[in-house]
């Protein structure tokens, strides 16, 4: 492309489209007026103008591949007092997902280098996912905090067991603990910690390295910090992180599956909230986690043997 061609398309662009194009990036932006609403979503502005948070999520494209006047935003998020609406632009049409707060039973936030995903897990077993650039996660954070404030109910009096804090010696998990203590209602007690790089076996009995895990007991929720995958090949480092926040009051039951005598090395902890199931793999028995769940009156069921078969830990 020559310099004259570069000037031509910028000169020909509508000034409003050019301003939007020049500010386009990976960040999630607030919508404060109808003019801020992306053109493809503008017909929905009136019904969401009074939202607690109204945000627009950019396409996952490089600005160099786009031009003024194109649809630069993939989704709009509206956080109301009663629930969340997600509007997505798919093949030129707007698709809508709606969830009221009572339907959301847990949240997860995962990162893998510059890729991030925020997920709302619903009581019917489905989830609402939002993919974003991890560098833009801070722009979404106030709205994420708002959601957690809406779904995390206070536990009933007398809930707390006397759970001793365990040492957290792994630097990755120690850093995550410090961050979460600034975000989660105190006291935040580490009750199960496994360092990374412990020797273990995958479902075929082959040697692998555990990625570690940290479980935190808070007044109203159980928080799980992991690398996303329970183990890996010794030849591949782990760059991912996953934070799962589960309000105790949303849980209906749980199971613990002991590590089998042959095959993989992991115990399986499965948390259930209606039709939603969250499984975390652990090298050590989750004794303190069981105590925390029992103290909240969460029903323990016989395990149904979740399986690591077919999972190799090779990324």
Q: What is the Cα–Cα distance from 90 to 63, expressed in whole angstroms?
A: 19
* pLDDT by position in tens, the chain (length 315): 455 555 578 787 777 778 877 777 788 999 999 999 999 999 999 999 999 999 999 988 777 788 877 778 899 999 999 999 999 999 889 999 999 999 999 999 999 988 999 999 999 999 999 999 888 877 799 999 999 999 986 555 445 567 899 999 999 999 999 999 999 988 999 999 999 999 989 888 889 999 999 999 999 999 999 999 998 988 888 889 999 999 999 999 999 999 887 778 899 999 999 999 999 999 999 999 999 999 999 999 998 756 665 443 332
Q: What is the SS3 assignment for 84?
A: strand
Instruction: Compute how many other C-beta atoms are within 10 angstroms of the C-beta atom of residue 97.
Output: 15
Q: What is the SS3 assignment for 205?
A: coil
Instruction: Specify the pLDDT at position 311.
Output: 46
For 191, half-sphere exposure in the C-beta direction (CA atoms, 13 angstrom radius) is 26
Give the helix ranges, DSSP H, for 89-215: 137-151, 171-181
Q: What is the Cα–Cα distance from 273 to 122, expressed in whole angstroms?
A: 9
Instruction: Specify the pLDDT at position 72.
Output: 84
The angle formed by the CA atoms of residues 257, 112 and 188, to the nearest 5 degrees, is: 55
Residue 249's contacts (CB-CB under 8 Å, 6 or more residues apart) are 152, 153, 155, 220, 296
Say if CB 198 and CB 210 are below 8 A apart. Answer: yes
Domains located in the chain, CATH noted: 3-151 (2.30.29.30), 171-300 (2.30.29)
């Amino acid at each position: 492309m020559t310099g004259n061609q570069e000037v031509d398309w910028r000169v020909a662009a509508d000034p409003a489209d050019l301003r939007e194009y020049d500010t386009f990036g990976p960040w999630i932006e607030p919508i404060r007026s109808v003019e801020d609403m992306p053109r493809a979503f503008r017909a929905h502005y009136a019904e969401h103008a009074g939202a607690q948070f109204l945000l627009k999520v950019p396409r996952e494209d490089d600005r160099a591949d786009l031009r003024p006047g194109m649809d630069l935003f993939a989704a709009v998020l509206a956080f109301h007092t009663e629930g969340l609406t997600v509007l997505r632009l798919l093949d030129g049409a707007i698709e809508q997902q709606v969830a009221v707060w009572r339907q959301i039973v847990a949240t997860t936030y995962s990162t893998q280098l510059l890729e991030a995903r925020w997920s709302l897990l619903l009581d019917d077993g489905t989830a609402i996912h939002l993919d974003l650039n991890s560098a833009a996660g801070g722009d979404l954070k106030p709205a994420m905090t708002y959601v957690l404030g809406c779904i995390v109910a206070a536990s009933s009096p007398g809930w707390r067991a006397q759970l001793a804090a365990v040492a957290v010696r792994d630097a990755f998990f120690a850093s995550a603990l410090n961050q979460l203590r600034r975000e989660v209602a105190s006291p935040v007690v580490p009750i199960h910690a496994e360092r990374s790089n412990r020797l273990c076996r995958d479902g075929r009995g082959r040697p692998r390295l555990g990625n570690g895990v940290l479980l935190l007991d808070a007044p109203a929720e159980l928080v799980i910090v992991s690398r996303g995958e329970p183990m890996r090949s010794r030849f591949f480092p782990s760059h991912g992180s996953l934070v799962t926040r589960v309000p105790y009051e949303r849980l209906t039951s749980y199971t613990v599956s002991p590590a089998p005598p042959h095959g993989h090395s992991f115990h399986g902890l499965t948390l259930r909230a209606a039709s939603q199931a969250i499984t975390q793999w652990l090298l050590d028995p989750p004794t303190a986690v069981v105590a925390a769940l029992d103290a909240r009156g969460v029903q323990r069921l016989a395990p149904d043997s979740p399986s690591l078969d077919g999972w190799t830990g090779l990324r």
